[in-house]
Amino acid sequence: MDKILVHGGRRLSGSVRISGSKNSALPILAATLLTAEPCVIHCVPDLSDIHYMLQILSHLGAQVERASGTVTVQADKIKTVAPYEIVRKMRASVCVLGPLLGRHREAKVSLPGGCVIGDRPIDLHLRGFRALNAACRVEAGDVKVFADELRGSTMNLEGKQGPTVLGTDNIMMAATLAEGVTVIEGAAAEPEVVDLANFLIKMGAKIEGAGTRRISIEGVKQLHGTEHSVIPDRIEAGTFLVAAALAGTEVTLRRVNPDHLFSISNALKEAGFILEIQRDQITLRSNGGVRPLELITEPYPGFPTDMQAQMCALLNRANGVSRVTETVFPQRFMHISELKRMGASIELEGATAIIHGATELSGAPVMASDLRASAALVLAGLVAEGVTEVNRVYHIDRGYESIDEKLAGLGAHIERVKEPRPR
């Protein structure tokens, strides 16, 4: 099992190119199941989650080719069953339910795995499928959905912690081939949902309102193949902005969409950093100390939950006390105990982390608990004294393409090592 060693104390400078969005690419790849014609997807990141999705598509019978960030999928003959051994490693595998139901009116998919960041049920997905006239059952760990015909209707997908992104994706995909008009109230407005909608529109779908809380889908008889480029990953971009804020002098992010990073950029400006924003790149410069913040995670366009752990690492350097409240996944604080192992002074009060800044960090062996927590520990290691050993880095490989190589390209002393297997 790989681990990452971060030798603290190096300053970062230069530029880094941001990869395609994982959270766009996964549902877009699933959406290729909606047509028998070839689809060509560009800017697909090289991630373990992407590998798992391509395995799922292949298992379902699709022909999959991959070369240099471009994936071609032709799903002319497909099965409708995805068993546990295929989907267990990735929560996003649930997004094949929508396209399979839309195209074949039935699907059986095992309940998926993924990061351990609290309860993430799929009840909102099932609510949406039922509104489309599908029957839904959960039996022996499998989700079964089926319908004689899919009929458009109006539904609300707002949950206790806000809209569901994958649920919005799933219902939008199924509804493209339903009879009549489907209206999703309380829809997720994330850029990744918009990217999926744009891909579906290129396939011939009729969708309006993506990027708002109300999406309208008029069903069509069939969809066709198309070509599409995945948007830049705003969370990878945000992570490198925080890396630059922690340890950088001047760092430029290339191939970004600044509009998608508005809440992250604003938080960093409030913390005292200088950002130069251009059409498709952002440069961050250090401006002395870090100012403390009051942050609350919210659904887009609010501050993203996927950046909460990284900001906790940064605010440990602030001159004062910061408060970070998690409203999307209130249990998503497993990184706190690991940061404290490195010397951070953080208290948890319910779903709020109280961070006493200006503490010096020391390198230590730490354990990654989930994707974004692992990134936060690597970032903390950039400014810790000595060596930080981040274990279970398979989490980070789920969502960051070559993060160690990209950080090394900016000047970090970072290495990936393989632990010997026990005899």
Print the SS3 string covering the chain.
Answer: CEEEEEECCCCEEEEEECCECHHHHHHHHHHHHHCCCCEEEECCCCCHHHHHHHHHHHHCCCEEEEECCEEEEECCCCCCEECHHHHCCCHHHHHHHHHHHHHHCEEEEECCCCCCCCCCCCHHHHHHHHHCCCEEEEECCEEEEECCCCECCEEECEECCEECHHHHHHHHHHHCCCECEEEEECCCCCHHHHHHHHHHHHCCCEEECECECEEEEECCCCCCCCEEECCECHHHHHHHHHHHHHHEEEEEEECCCHHHHHHHHHHHHHCCCEEEECCCEEEEECCCCECCCEEEECCCCCECHHHHHHHHHHHCCECCEEEEECCCCCCCCHHHHHHHHCCCEEEEECCEEEEECCCCCECCEEECCCHHHHHHHHHHHHHCECEEEEECCHHHHCCCCCHHHHHHHCCCEEEEEECCCCC
The more confidently predicted of residues 359 and 47 is 47
| Residues 43 and 168 placed together within one structural domain of the fold | yes
Among 175, 197, 229, identify where a domain stops: 229
Domain count, the chain: 2
- Confidence bin at 422 (pLDDT 50/70/90): low
Residue 115 annotated in active site: yes
- The whole-number pLDDT of residue 59 equals 95
| Residues 173 and 256 placed together within one structural domain of the fold | no
| Residues 346 and 237 placed together within one structural domain of the fold | yes
Q: Looking at residues 205-211, what average pLDDT do you find? A: 98
Among 207, 229, 251, identify where a domain stops: 229
- The whole-number pLDDT of residue 118 equals 42
Domain with 262 in it:
2-18+232-418
* pLDDT tens string 321-373: 999 999 998 889 999 999 999 999 999 999 999 999 988 999 999 998 889 99
| Residues 262 and 161 placed together within one structural domain of the fold | no
Active-site position among 43, 95, 115, 312:
115
The more confidently predicted of residues 323 and 394 is 323
What's the chain's average pLDDT? 94
| Residues 254 and 217 placed together within one structural domain of the fold | no
- The whole-number pLDDT of residue 85 equals 84
| Residues 267 and 127 placed together within one structural domain of the fold | no
Among 163, 197, 229, identify where a domain stops: 229
Residue 316 lies in a domain: yes
| Residues 218 and 283 placed together within one structural domain of the fold | no
* pLDDT tens string 159-205: 888 899 999 999 999 999 999 999 999 999 999 999 999 999 999 99
> For the domain that residue 289 is a member of, what is the CATH number?
3.65.10.10
- Confidence bin at 84 (pLDDT 50/70/90): confident
| Residues 31 and 143 placed together within one structural domain of the fold | yes
Residue 312 lies in a domain: yes
- Confidence bin at 139 (pLDDT 50/70/90): confident
- The whole-number pLDDT of residue 115 equals 41
- The whole-number pLDDT of residue 206 equals 98
pTM of structure: 0.95
- The whole-number pLDDT of residue 113 equals 52
| Residues 246 and 383 placed together within one structural domain of the fold | yes
